[in-house]
Structures are given as C-alpha cells and as structure tokens.
Structure 1
Amino acid sequence: MQLSPSLLLLALLNSVHAATVLAPAPEPTQFITLDIVNGPVAPDGFTRIGVLANGTFPGPPIVATKGQTLVVKVNNKLTDNTMRRSTTMNFDGVFIDSDNVFNEGSPFVTTCPFGPGESYTYTLPLGDQTGTFWYHSQLSVQYADGLRGTLIVYDPDDPLAHLYDVDDASTVLTVADWWHNTSTSGLAGYIATQIIPVSDSGLFNARGRYNSGPEVEYAAVSVVKGKRYRFRLINMSARANFVVSIDNHTMTIIEADGVATEPNEVNILTIYPGQRYSFVVTANKAVGNYWINAFINSGNAAHNLNLNSTLSRGILRYVGAQDEEPQTPMTAGPTGPDAVMLNEWELVPLDPIPAPEPDFNLTFNTFMPVDLTEWEINNSSYIPPTVPTLVKVLQGETQQSDFNKTENTFLFPANKTVQVEIIDATNEGHPFHLHGMNFWVVKANGTDIINTVNPIRRDVSITGNGNLTVRFRTDKPGPWFFHCHIFYHFVVGLGSVIGAGLDEVAKTVHPTEAWERLCPAYDALPPSEQ
C-alpha cells in the first residue's frame, strides 16, 4: 500500500518523535575507575616506564553529559620507586562548589596525596557546566610521566550546534610535551643546574618523533569532504606551548576553556599548558592529506638535542585520500600577512557577563632570582605547607597571621570581587590557572585594551610582554589554588592560594571520613612511597 504525501509526512514525523522519545537519557551518575599503574609507554618510539591511568597514555577519556555527576575512583597501584608513588588527581576547569572543595584534588591545599595500595573517590557534580576539560596528577610534576587524560562534557542543547556536523571522540585533539627521563630526574636536574628541562619531543594525539628516532606514524584525523568538524584541542603539557594550524584550512574558534564564544575565524593559534579551545573546520578542500602543524615551543632546544619542533605534527586526512604523509613541506604554519592569529582579547563569550568592579586589588610580581632555581610572587616562593590549607581552615585557622609567608595565601571576604594584575618582569610567559572557577580576562597579554563589558571568561590565561589583569568572585568560600600551569615553574614556587571567605568554610564544608584519613596515612608513609 502506498501512503499519500500527507500520511507519509506524518509517518516520518512520528518516527522522528519516537526516536527522540526512545533515545536513552544519560544516567544521572557516571561511575569511572582509574587504576594508576607503572607501565611501558612509547609515544615517540622511545620506550620508557611511565605513570599511566589504566595502563594507557593518555589515560582513558572521560565522556559526560551536562547535568551528570562523575564519581571517579582512583586506585593507586604504583610500584616504581624511581618516580613518585603517591598521587592525587585534579580535574582541570571543572567547577567545584564550596561544600565539595575537599574533592578538588590540590595536594597540601585542599587534600593530601594518597600512597600505593590506597584509593580515593572523587565526586564531581557537573551542574550546568559543559565544554572541554582534562584530568591530571597534581602532585609535583608527576603528570609529565604520563598521568593525564581528556574530559569532555557534552551539551545536548549546544547553542552553537548549527555550526558543525561532527563532534565526537574522533574530534578530540591533544598536544603534549614528552620526556624520555622521569619527572623526578628532570626536577632534580633543574634544581641542580637551574636549566628547566626541555622535552625530547612534542606529541600530537599521543604520537611524535625526535631527532634520529624511529619514524613513528603520525596521528591522522579523518574527515569527509563537505562536512564541518568541531575539534576540541587540549594542551596537556607540563611546560610547552604549541603553535597550531592546518594547511589550507581555517579554524573558527567557538570555545575557550569551557566557555562558548562568538565565532572567531583564524588560521593559526598558540595554546599554552592547561588551555583548551574548540574550533570548527570545514572539510572543503580537495581530497588529500594536509599537515596539522603543532609546532612545539619548549625552550632552548640546545638543552636537549632530541627535540625537533618541525617533527611535532599530525595529518588531516580526507576519506578517499592515500594513506600517506602530505607531500607539502613541514612548516610552523602561516606567517607574515597570511597569518590570522588568535588574539585572546578578541574572544567574546556567547553569553557575555560584564566584569564586576573590584572590591580588592592585588598585584603579583613574578620573578626568578639570579642563581636560584625558584620562582617568586611578590618576593615569596610558594612552599606547600605540611598541613593542607583546608585542614588548617577547618581547625579554625582563618586569619592572615595563621599562614606563613611561603604559603602565599591571600585572604578576602566572601562575595567580593578581586582584581589581580600579574606583572611578568622576565617576559617568560606564564599560563596562570585558577582552580574551581573561571576569571574574567579584563586585560589580556599583548594589548592595552581594558574590557569590562564582555571579556572572555576562562581558567588559564597567559602573561608575557604585557601585564595580565583578571577578576574573579569570592562567592565560593574555600582555599583555591592559583598557579602557573608550567609545572616546572609551579613546583619551584610560582603558586599561590586564594582564601575566599575562610570564616564561612566550616559552616558549609563537611568532608568525608575517607578524606580525613588521607593526611594521617600520607604522613605515615616512608619517603620512597610519597
């Protein structure tokens, strides 16, 4: 029997409706297990033992949907005494409410690490937050040994969904620096020589090459001609920034650190440690292979002759193209008048929120003293306290006099706006990262423009040849880490703690017994297991 056009349309509409109704909604709570182990890893062809989540680098991707609660059980099964055997996990960019600050994961600020044979479960309600995030060890520079992975929170009602056709696991991209030596040996060498370690290679989607090393096959990203792809790019480096472009293609930025933005078309961008961007690429060129240039900037390559920035890249491969490398030259991307660079101050949030006028003004002067391997903020190098800040606060220590100068803890009342001007006297380029919340970037590095009307909100922004000025609210009582995301800088002092309404913390924060056991257990460990 043939249906009339009207009945056929009705049948099609009913089938679409049925599919919509029958599509399974995500479970309210998602349970995830990460076993942290020592195991072999060779992303650039050099095999070494790493610190790995579930035995892989990067660790297993965490994929969530808006409104879910993540329950992440982390089992510490580390055995290799040449690296740190304790651990603690941070979920970069995920907002943390004040009453859940003990699950925030910052060692000696909101928690203690946990040793081999121990476990800890992080409970993370995502609320309305969506976007591109990642997770990594927050202990020392342990994540340089491999403990890092992606975390994507999808929005079923993404207001920018009309701009792209594909947004799935295949469009999550990572860049990362990689060392052949352990992070503990790298840190020891840094302290002894004052020369920050330079990585052996740069990785795109966990693959790379180094000078005179094996020709590891470059990671290829598959696209279909005519389709539009939302790529989510995460810099998972412990030190390096990357200059990213795709030969003959433009990139339309639509997200920065979990904040949706007005479309901003560029053809080259620099992404710093901890930062994330989403951009749309239209596969509208001839079927073929195109270089994804991920040019690594990891300091003076003379300090590590393995590093070759040119070898840090991937391939955009159209379906139907030969399985081969592009025949075009390897470059660092567009230059001169052909380069349309991403400028942070040109990013406009899709949902603009004016930056409130500050109630308090704070200046950070960052400086590295001559002949000392340490970084300072206002002449003070951050040294983690033996008793975590949150533990002290819950014990009633909520006044400025309760914190040593080396704790770099700055106290403010609740429900105020703080403006921080970060002065980078050495023009080093520090990606400053605020835990638990975003800040407004009212003056980005590289411009004199002050924008309080519709500035980008994000959680990592860069200093450099111009001062960086950010504002944030102290609406969430608690101690919040604010530090450089170059972990080799952070671990030798470039960190601080923002104490927001600490006299309110004990009223809202009620940690679990599992959290309360962490510090006594860690303190009882022998040094080889810490």
Structure 2
Amino acid sequence: MHFLFASAALLALLKPHPVASLAVDASIKAVTLDIVNKNLAPDGFLRSTIVANGQYPGPAITATKGQTLRVTVNNKLTDPNMRRSTTVNFDGIFQSTANSYNEGSAFVTTCPIAPGASYTYEVPLGSQTGTHWYHSELSVQYVDGLRGALIIYDPLDPQRQLYDVDDLSTVIQLGDWWQNSSLPMLARYEATGIVPVSDSGTVNGIGRYQGGPNVPFAVTNVVSGKRYRLRVINQSARNVFTFSVDSHSLTVIEADGVATRPHTVDVIEMLAGQRYSVVLTANKPVANYWINAPFVGGLPSRNLHQNATLSRSILRYRGAPIAEPTTPWTLGPENGVPLIEANLVPLVNEVPPPADVNISLDLTVIAGQAIWNVNNISYLPPKVPTLNKVLAGSASFDPTENTFILPAHKTIQIEFPPTDDDDAHRMCFIASPFLSIDLDTISTAFHLHGGNFWVVKSMSSSTANFVNPIRRDVAGVGGSGTTIRFRTDNPGPWLFHCHIFWHKQAGLATVMLADPAAVRKNTHPTKAWEALCPAYNALPVELQ
C-alpha cells in the first residue's frame, strides 16, 4: 500500500513537468518559409519561379492580435537566372525600435540571407490588426513570385457585426505576372529605361494571357444571405488593378490595416501594395459572377500577351453550376460608384498634429534611362546597411543613400508637389485601366516602413483634410498634389519608397531615419543578425 501510494505521489509530482515542457506558447506563432525555385505556370506558361513553400502566392501567414510571429526563412535558391540571396519584409507591420533589425529591408535594416542559409525573423504584432502581406525586399526579386498574404485577426473586431465570414477563403490576392525572370528583364530596363510590361494579371495565383491556354479561373464560394469580408491585396510590382464584382456593391471597412467607417462603392482602384477589406453581401440570384481585376501597367503594345480583361476570377453561389459566368464580361468600372480615397474616414479618429518639420519631395525621371530621382538624388543601396551604420555610431551617409535624419517625437509633413499638364515626366496618378496611356513614367505609389501616415491631402481631392483624414501606409502621389504626416515616435531607419519596384530599383526611394540616438540606445541585434552581412559580403557576385 505504501509503495503504491508513494508511486502515485511521485507520478503526481512528475506529471506536470513534461506537460509544461511541451506546452505551446499561444503568444508565439511559428512559421517556416522555404524559399525555393520551382517550375510553375500561374497563367499557363511554365517558368522557373522564386516562391515560398513551392507555391504562388506563398502560404498565407495568419495571426491573432497581440501575437508575435517567428518566421524562419530557409534560403534554398539555386537558379542563376534570378537573385539567389533573399530577404523578406512584412509589408504594413510597423516593427519597433528594439526590433528594427528584423524589419527585412535589404541594405536599410539588414543584409540579405545567403543561399543555403536560414534566418528567423521575430515580428511582434502589438496592437496591429488587418490585412497585410509579405514579399522579398531584395531588388525586384518578388517579381519572380515571392509574395503572400499576412492577416492579423482581431477577436474583438468592433466591426464584426458587419460580416458573417472572414477566413482564408475570402482573401483575394492580385498580382502582376511576367513569363520571363527578373534579372534579364532588369538588364533590359536598365539599358532602355522602359519598364517591363507584365504578361498577365493573376487573382489568387491564377491568370490568363492573350493566346494562352484557358487556365481555370480561381473561385470564391459564397452562400446566399451571408455577408463576406473580402480582404483584397494588390501584390503587384507595378500594375494598378481595378477591383469590382459584377452586380454586387462593396462596403469598405479597412484600408492598409486601418479600420474605416463603412463606405459603400462599386469599384476600387488599387495601387501596388495597397489593401482593402470590403464587405460583400451574397444577396443576388444564385449564379456565377465575375470578380473583375483589370489592370494598367505600360502600353499593351509592348507585350502582345497582355489582355487586361483576362485578369479576373469567379464568385460562385452555392447551387450554381460549375461553370464560368454566362453574362458577358463588361467594363464594370465605367458604370459603378468608384472609391475616392479622400472620402475614407477612420473608424477611430485621431486628428493629425500640426507639422513640426516640412519636407518637399520632387520626383523626376531621366528620359530614356532607368534613373528616378527624389530631390535630384537617385537612391543607391549602400554596401553597409543604414542600421549597421547607426549602431556603429556613424552620423554620415552617402548622398546616394538619400537619408533624412528626423528629430524624435515630432510630426513630419511630406509634400509631393502637384503635377503640371506639361510636366508628364513627373506625373503620378491612378488612371482608368482603359486609357491608352504609357504608365512607364506616370504612375507610382509611395509606401512607408515602420509606421503609417495621415493622408491630409489625397491626390484624389483638391482640398486638405486636417480633421479626420484616413491613415494608411501606401498612397498615390502626383495629380493635384499629395501631402502626408507621420510621427517619429518609433525611432529607426525606415524605408520610404515607390512600391512600383522597378521604379524603386531605379532610385525612387529615401530613408526616413527617426531619432538615431534612440536607435543606438534601444536596438540590440542578435548574433544571427550580425552574421548576415559577413556571410553575404563573402559571396561571389553571382550568388548575391
């Protein structure tokens, strides 16, 4: 009896320990991304790609508000026709000063990951929620396929009563697709100044090109009477997509991770990097309907594969036949109510503080060359990343780094001047996808890392809004002028660049370095991060 009792007591004492050691920390979301070359045919044309876990788009990363992502990236790239090093940025995730070294911006906050090596990004999400994405931040590498959704769910979403369904089936990823690999296309761009024109557009990784096979379109399934939160992401490296769903209105409730007051429209034009959540009510007759995503991105005559109207997918009601819609595809954007950015209002308003520092950014391109300037400077990535320099105590940056040193805890106002009609080389605006214009030089969208900004003067409006402007992290610039404001409460070297990555590669970028003294004081990188630059710099050029 005593033996049995002692054994039971011993077991009772020991039992919690192995259970505790195996417990899962719910605050950590572990993700593994194997970056590989794989032959894929998103639009029916087989080519070698750079993708995460063998798929395009890459696997969706999902998390809950307050979690920390622990993303292990294993670089397994071998194809010499594309970059073989890599780095991953989590678009729209602010990061913090202490964690800025995990931000993933090549040569700003980190060196790339060498082929055959691995790195684990620690990404605390804090109070952020909403629709985001991840992609390669190295050169134009994500043109080859390294892009995917990143969704942060909020269990206490204040707009939860507006929709019934919000899961991975309602994520819609738009992308431009090239049938050639990025390095040869980049060489031609640098030789001619002509941005490569995509062969097709994809919706959830599937598209068609003119003269190509009839690849089955992607399908979003719905049930009559239910309301769906569609999370729409423009993952393009260039193209502007115009999103609509035949016969259905769309109620915008989020822009770039910021909840908005419900605003109902029919058509949404989306620049590269922009995201929206819209509520679609399945209240139409049971049938198949087109989800439309035509695009612009250069003259179609420069790529005879391009047919923007083939960029679409299907909304299928339960009970509808497994078939394409029988109604003819129409130019829905011409007949619906368009989204005007200036009409968006945040759900929780925060009046932008008065500006403490004013900066004007003038964007120009040298005709016939792949050279973009910001205030007459074409950005060139430094050999030693900006963050490394700051941590080493340097206050000196090459002019080509285009680094603005900003004071702590101030409001920065950046103005992009209006574009004159006779100054088309600077023009940047959201254009109708059916205009016969050349967007090689007249379209761009600026994206801020490390935070977002108030759009106090949208290019979609002639007036400023200092009362309740939308906050977002990607905005179009040009037209009647764009003015944004942001706070320097998150010290760090944050990339501020055009999200048309061909333009970024050509120099259309700056670095907003907020409070370098606080960066030096509060940023303490790991040994793994410190090892990235020596490993990358030791590589032969062809492996970088």
TM-score interval, smaller chain: over 0.9
**How far apart are residue 372 of structure 1 and its match?**
2.2
Q: Secondary structure at the match of 1:99?
A: coil
Contact 1:235 1:275 in 2 (8 A): yes
1:404 and 2:398 correspond: yes
Unaligned 5+ runs, structure 1: 1-23
CA distance in 2, matches of 1:361, 1:324: 55
In angstroms, what is the RMSD of aligned CA positions?
A: 1.2
* Kept in 2: contact 1:253–1:265 (CA 8 A): yes
Q: Is the 8 A contact 1:26 1:65 kept in 2?
A: no
Asked if the contact 1:368/1:375 (under 8 Å) is kept, the reply is yes
- Which residue in 2 is equivalent to 1:415? 409
- Provide Cα deviations, 1:121-140, integer angstroms capped at 9, x if missing partner: 10011111110000000000
Residue 194 of structure 2 is aligned to residue 198 of structure 1: no
Which secondary structure state, in structure 2, belongs to the residue aligned with residue 98 of structure 1? Answer: coil
Do structure 1's residue 449 and structure 2's residue 463 form an aligned pair? yes
1:192 Cα deviation after fit: 1.1
1:145 pairs with 2:144: yes
Q: Could you say which residue in structure 2 is the equivalent of 1:346?
A: 343
Residue aligned with 2:362, SS: strand
Task: Give yes or no for contact 1:199–1:298 (8 Å, CA) kept in 2.
Answer: yes
**Structure 1 residue ranges, 4+ long, deviating more than 6 angstroms after superposition:** none
What is residue 260 of structure 2 aligned with on the other side? 261
Aligned AA (1:464) = G
Quote the Cα distance in structure 2 between the aligned partners of 1:526 and 1:26. 41
1:419-430 alignment runs, 5 A limit: 419-423=413-417, 425-427=426-428, 428-430=442-444
1:77-476 map, 5 Å: 77-335=76-334, 338-398=335-395, 402-423=396-417, 425-427=426-428, 428-476=442-490
Say if 2:499 is the partner of 1:485. yes
**Contact kept? 2:112, 2:138, Cα under 8 Å:** yes
**What secondary structure does 1:396 align onto?**
coil
Whether the aligned pair in 2 keeps the contact of 1:244 and 1:333 (CA below 8 Å) is no
* C-alpha distance in 2 between matches for 1:507 and 1:488: 35
CA distance in 2, matches of 1:219, 1:356: 44
Residue 156 of structure 1: how far off its partner (Å) = 0.3
Cα deviation, residue 426, structure 1: 2.6
- 2:362–2:374: 8 Å Cα contact kept in structure 1? yes
Question: Are the aligned partners of 1:294 and 1:332 in contact in 2 as well (CA < 8 Å)?
Answer: no
Distance in 2 (alpha carbons) for counterparts of 1:322 and 1:435: 45
Shift of 1:262: 0.2
- Give the secondary-structure state (helix, strand or coil) at the position aligned to 1:55: coil
SS in 2 for 1:316: strand
Paired residue secondary structure (2:98): helix
Residue 426 of structure 1 aligns with an amino acid whose one-letter code is M
Distance 1:320 1:114 in 2: 48
Q: Which amino acid aligns with 2:321?
A: Q
Share of identical aligned residues, percent? Answer: 57
- TM-score, structure 2 length as denominator? 0.91
Partner Cα separation in structure 2 for residue 454 and residue 529 of structure 1: 48
* Cα distance in 1 between the residues matched to 2:24 and 2:261: 29
The answer on whether the counterparts of 1:52 and 1:147 sit within 8 Å (CA) in structure 2 is yes
* C-alpha distance in 2 between matches for 1:371 and 1:71: 44
C-alpha contact (below 8 Å) 1:382/1:492 kept by paired residues: yes
Query: Counterpart of 1:518?
Result: 532
Task: Please tell me whether the aligned partners of residues 96 and 436 of structure 1 are also in contact (alpha carbons under 8 angstroms).
Answer: yes
SS at match of 2:185: helix
The amino acid that maps onto 2:328 is P
Question: 2:382 is aligned with what amino acid?
Answer: P
Preserved CA contact (<8 Å) 1:295 1:310: yes
Shift of 1:25: 11
In structure 2, the partner of 1:6 is none
- In structure 2, list runs of 5 or more residues that go unmatched: 1-22, 420-425, 429-441
Which segment is superposed worse, 442-451 or 164-173?
442-451
